[in-house]
Amino acid sequence: MTATIDTPAAELGRARLRKEDAKLITGQTNWTDNIKLTGMLHLAFLRSPYAHAKITRVDVSGALSQPGVIAAFSGADFAGEQGSLPCAWPVTPDIVIPPHPPMAVDEVRYVGEAVAVVVARDRYAAADALASIDVDYEPLPPVLDIRTALDEDSPKVHDAGNKSYEWVFANGDVDAAFRDAPVVLERNYRQQRLIPCAMEPRAVVAQWIGDEVTLWSATQIPHVLRFALSAFFGIPEQNVRVIAPDVGGGFGSKLQVTAEEVLAVLIGRKVGKPVKWNESRTEGNQTVHHGRDQWQRIKIAADTDGRIRGLEVDLLADMGAYLMLVTPGVPLLGAFMFPAIYKMDAYSFKCTGVFTTKMPTDAYRGAGRPEATFAIERIMDELADSLGIEPLELRERNWIKHEEFPYTTICGLTYDSGNYEAATAKAKVLFDYDGLREEQRLRNERGDKVRLGIGISTFTEMCGLAPSRVLGSLSYGAGGWESASIRMLPTGKVEVVTGSSAHGQGHETAWSQIVADQLGVPFEDIRVLHGDTQVSPKGMDTYGSRSLAVGGIALVGACDKVVAKAKIIAAAMLEASEDDLEFSAGRFSVKGDPEASKSIQEVALATFAAHALPDGVEPSLDSDATYDPDNFSFPHGTHLCATEVDTETGFVKIRSYVAVDDVGVVVNPLIVEGQVHGGIAQGIAQALYEEGVYDDAGNLLTTTLADYLVPSAADLPSYKTERTETPASNRLGVKGVGEAGTIASTPAVVNAIVDALRPFGVRDVTMPCTPERVWRAIQAVQSSEQSGGAA
Amino acid sequence: MTHITVTVDGVKYADQVEPRLLLVHYLREVVGKTGTPVGCDTSNCGACTVLMDGQSVKSCSVLAVQADGSDVTTIEGLANGELHPVQRAFHEEHALQCGYCTPGMIMAATDLLRDNPHPTEEEIRDGLEGNLCRCTGYENIVRAVKRAAEAGVAQ
């Protein structure tokens, strides 16, 4: 089924400049950190300098005598009310979910965990007074390596041990697939720990008035947060309002119920004044949840012609010290993506979630799917190499052909649409694939110092999170629907309320385009409201590339309801039968009599006046709709990367990068292209630059942007992007684009580096592929060849 | 406390400040210029970039007392009745998403184009190395600076 749109598609597909920009380019923004309330006090947290320690004494009295200090608290002061930060995804019945107090009371389990707080009249005074708090610790041994954390003699993070869960999935006869397979390859890949680094640090303001609290937070999930504050911290839901003002990026890192949010609410109640906390970058790197951090063992069985028989995946996933909102579920989002676009007879997956004394991991752009895509696309290149088959050819022999859609994969997912042939063909032309292969051959023949490598990533992903029933079957604690409301104002202008709270995605523009088409009102006449639970009472918020594929469809449903109501009133106004009316471009007209018509704006005004409504018709055109998808959406594409690798220095330069993405029908190509660019950059960052590093004592070494290398414009290439379009099976035909670039690009870059170094015998470089690591990978092969006497 | 006089976006302010007060906190919390955000503690991200006597500075790395007697332009003072060409170019090229880095990026780009009115792509990328963006992958930022250069920002 493809998109069915009754009104002319004047806006869909149009590269509208964004409505959001006007305030952002002039500094007229409302970041949480801008909020100032009368009497507002500032919080500063004292944080654990130990990765693991007993807290034997906390004395905050010294802070109380410091200038400007109003109060100071330790974890014990919240013991009766702070409960435990929630984990919404208990992936197995026997999962270990340790208590996670927002402020540590007896024991700290990662560097940066909050142990005390100062409340002062300004942020400088609050920070100064931290030095006057005494904490006695009894250090305990840290647990830092998930590969040894399950050994019997390993120190324990929690009394229950270091294993949180083991989750398995299998389909087909895996033993049979591997038995007698002519080719079996096994590889181990490292998904390093990443730090999300949204440009806006977190910030929180909490204000109590009577028994009602308003929490402003730089969050992606105001609705989930409101629910959590009520369900887990005992504040009646009707008394909680959460506002996400302008939010400066998330990438999953603000998909969280954080200690600081909960504590700000509790502290605000204790001190009876509004309180504010804003994080420093160092605090952020230490205490905003991290991403990735897996060891992957992947094993593939194939025939000599390259046909995949089976795939086996065994993951160790670092949970960090606690399970946060969706920590244990992130690897599961990857579980279904290792088979990717390929057909096979059998598949098995196992993931073991392991505790360490580090910051918890959780969703970070792509969440599970980049990890899976990396492993499968890396091993496809290895398989191609070992069979002597051209790597694109190997992929084509295995991928689902365009005529085979809808196709149910070995994981049981039904991919509704796609055309891998078309995306790949387009990418090859744009990239000059054959030309670059020829150049590579010549440079290898010449023995150039700087080698050319070509990396391929023919990826897909599952997004549009998510069908509620599927989430339920995976033990997720909530649904995946989204809501939208339309308010038809008397003057014919429109307010659109969405439950999907944007933080850079451009909802205000894209949603206006959709509504303009559906209702036939001018783009400029539409205002989109979001991010405040009092304005937008229902929603599941923004993550997992879900806003358009779920929230956008809810929006179309809400528009339908407006048109249906308006039609009844228009029929009365025109003294015609409803059946004789047609609605097009914002006008109801009598079939065969185009002169007899009323605009939707005229109907809105007549509804407001309500002087002549038909009997039983409510004087309102407003509508409310929710949409729960019956499937995920499956964007796909072919990304090609050419790297030049200096074999003497290990320096990698990306010479060209081509991305052809199929994200279904496009509402706004400008926004889509921007999402692809940013996604690619984040994936390249994992491949080449970024790694969250802890030392042997469990101290985070990459606490600043000087140590944690978020790439600049000078570190990244220009990207060539194009699209193919196979519509998804929802009413708009849309799939989602927020994570595609990040999922696709990491393996494309690393495949290109390894491809450049294959003549040297290099078969892998561990990410991030820094010059040193690339250089060492070459040296390691050469020295082993020398010692082994190889040619 | 130290007495300082600073002109910010064309308005002269006289204040008593702690000598340790950062310029960015002076701008945001004393003067109320919240258009200039803070993104890091180490002058790596550039979100807080403003023009001080015409030169771009990271206002988290300048003390308010160092700005005494200076003329500071923030993102809020860049438009002069109509959008500055760099602001317009950022809008037209979709060079921002969440917009948090945007004020600093625009100010840095403005300074870059004053120094080098017709930069190559490489010069733009190198010139903006001190400003980080997590959303755009920089592609459209580079396009925006090129567009602003073509519009003749620098004259």
Nearest by CB to A21, which of B96, B126, B136? B96
Per-residue model confidence (pLDDT) at position A784 = 83
- Helical segments of A164-250, H only: 174-178, 222-233
CB contact under 8 A, A714 and B121: no
Query: What is the DSSP code string of B52-110?
Result: ETTEEEETTSSBGGGGTT-EEE-GGGT-BSB--HHHHHHHHTT--SS-SSHHHHHHHHH
- In chain A, % helix, strand, coil (3-state, to 5) comes to 30, 25, 40
pLDDT of residue A4 exceeding 70: no
A186: number of Cβ within 10 Å: 13
Query: What angle separates helix B139-150 from helix B102-115, to the nearest 10 degrees?
Result: 40
Measure in Å the smallest separation between the Cα of B65 and chain A Cα atoms.
16
Higher pLDDT, A403 or A788: A403
Strands (E) in A647-750, as ranges, are: 652-662, 719-723
CB contact under 8 A, A504 and B135: yes
CB contact under 8 A, B37 and A246: no
Query: What is the DSSP code string of A266-279?
Result: HHHHHHTS-EEEE-
Nearest residue on chain A to B131, alpha-carbon basis: A712
A124 reaches B (C-beta below 8 A)? yes
CB contact under 8 A, A719 and B139: yes
Cα Rg of chain B, angstroms: 15
Residue A126 gets which letter from DSSP?
H
Query: Which of chain A's residues have a Cβ under 8 Å away from the Cβ of B96?
Result: 21, 24-25
Task: Give dist(CA A207, CA A91) in Å, integer.
Answer: 35
pLDDT of residue A6 exceeding 70: no
CB contact under 8 A, A706 and B20: no
Per-residue model confidence (pLDDT) at position A749 = 98
Sheet with A623-627: strands ordered across: A526-529, A494-498, A482-488, A623-627
Nearest by CB to B75, which of A18, A26, A673? A26
Query: What angle separates helix A433-446 from helix A420-431, to the nearest 10 degrees?
Result: 50
Q: What is the pLDDT of residues A475-484, one digit of tens each?
A: 999 999 999 9
pLDDT of residue A691 exceeding 50: yes
Handedness of CA A103, A709, A294, A143 (dihedral sign): negative
Q: What is the pLDDT of residues A630-685, one digit of tens each?
A: 999 999 999 999 999 999 999 999 999 999 999 999 999 999 999 999 999 999 99
Task: Give dist(CA A513, CA A597) in Å, integer.
Answer: 24
CB contact under 8 A, B97 and A17: no
Compute the mean pLDDT over every residue in chain A, rounded to the nearest whole number: 96
Average pLDDT of the segment spanning A547-553: 97
Query: What angle separates helix A771-788 from helix A740-757, to the nearest 10 degrees?
Result: 40
Q: Which amino acid is at A746?
A: T
Task: Give dist(CA A655, CA A153) in Å, integer.
Answer: 48
Residues in chain B: 155
A713 reaches B (C-beta below 8 A)? yes
Nearest residue on chain A to B101, alpha-carbon basis: A199
To 10 degrees, the CA torsion angle through A231, A236, A241, A247?
A: -20
Per-residue model confidence (pLDDT) at position B21 = 98
Q: What is the pLDDT of residues B29-53, one digit of tens each?
A: 999 999 999 999 899 999 999 999 9
**Given phi > 0 = left and psi -120 to 50 = alpha, else beta, which region is A249?**
left
| Cβ–Cβ under 8 Å, residues A729 and A417 | yes
The tokens for B120 are 């190559």
Task: Give dist(CA A769, CA A688) in Å, integer.
Answer: 5
Nearest by CB to A716, which of B34, B45, B138? B138
Count of CB contacts below 8 A, A vs B? 175
Nearest by CB to B132, which of A20, A710, A719? A710
CB contact under 8 A, A712 and B47: no
pLDDT of residue A30 exceeding 90: yes
The tokens for A418 are 């796609």
Q: Which amino acid is at A111?
A: V
Q: Which of residues 172-211 of A touch B (CB under 8 A)?
A: 197-201
* Helices and strands in chain A, H and E counts: 19, 28
Query: Which of chain A's residues have a Cβ under 8 Å away from the Cβ of B45?
Result: 199, 281, 705, 710
Per-residue model confidence (pLDDT) at position A196 = 98
A679 reaches B (C-beta below 8 A)? yes
Nearest residue on chain A to B29, alpha-carbon basis: A34
Per-residue model confidence (pLDDT) at position A732 = 97
Average pLDDT of the segment spanning A503-532: 97
Q: What is the pLDDT of residues A384-416, one digit of tens each?
A: 999 999 999 999 999 999 999 999 999 999 999
Whole-number percent of chain A with pLDDT over 70: 98
Query: Which of chain B's residues have a Cβ under 8 Å away from the Cβ of A247?
Result: 98
| Cβ–Cβ under 8 Å, residues A244 and A501 | yes
| Cβ–Cβ under 8 Å, residues A278 and A256 | no
A586: number of Cβ within 10 Å: 22
pLDDT of residue A541 exceeding 90: yes
pLDDT of residue A788 exceeding 90: no
Per-residue model confidence (pLDDT) at position A9 = 55
Residue A717's contacts (CB-CB under 8 Å, 6 or more residues apart) are A654, A655, A656, A657, A684
Residue A486's contacts (CB-CB under 8 Å, 6 or more residues apart) are A494, A495, A496, A497, A515, A519, A558, A559, A561, A562, A621, A622, A623
CB contact under 8 A, B98 and A705: no
CB contact under 8 A, A199 and B135: yes
Whole-number percent of chain A with pLDDT over 90: 97
pLDDT of residue A336 exceeding 80: yes
Task: Give dist(CA B147, CA B139) in Å, integer.
Answer: 12
| Cβ–Cβ under 8 Å, residues A729 and A3 | no
The H or E element spanning position A750 is: helix A740-757
Per-residue model confidence (pLDDT) at position B154 = 52
Nearest residue on chain B to A19, alpha-carbon basis: B91
A506 reaches B (C-beta below 8 A)? yes
Task: Give dist(CA A365, CA A363) in Å, integer.
Answer: 7
Nearest by CB to A677, which of B78, B98, B137? B137
| Cβ–Cβ under 8 Å, residues A484 and A558 | yes
A710 reaches B (C-beta below 8 A)? yes
Exposure string of B70-93, with b = 16+ CB inside 10 Å and e = fewer, is bbbbbbbbbeeeebbbbbbbbbbb
Task: Return the SS3 of A570.
Answer: helix
Query: What angle separates helix A420-431 from helix A391-398, to the nearest 10 degrees?
Result: 170
Average pLDDT of the segment spanning A568-577: 97
Nearest residue on chain A to B135, alpha-carbon basis: A678
- Residue from B72, B73, B135 whose CB has the most chain A CBs within 10 Å, to mutate: B135
| Cβ–Cβ under 8 Å, residues A504 and A249 | yes
Per-residue model confidence (pLDDT) at position A783 = 87
Least confident range from A1-15, A246-260, A399-413: namely A1-15
Measure in Å the smallest separation between the Cα of B88 and chain A Cα atoms.
8
Task: Return the SS3 of A459.
Answer: strand
Query: Which of chain B's residues have a Cβ under 8 Å away from the Cβ of A714?
Result: 125-126, 128-129
Average pLDDT of the segment spanning A510-519: 98
The tokens for A82 are 């702070």
Confidence of residue B155 (pLDDT cuts 50, 70, 90): very low
Q: What is the pLDDT of residues A82-118, one digit of tens each?
A: 999 999 999 999 999 999 999 999 999 999 999 999 9
Q: What angle do CA A489, A493, A494 make, to 5 degrees?
A: 75
Q: What is the pLDDT of residues A195-252, one digit of tens each?
A: 999 999 999 999 999 999 999 999 999 999 999 999 999 999 999 999 999 999 999 9
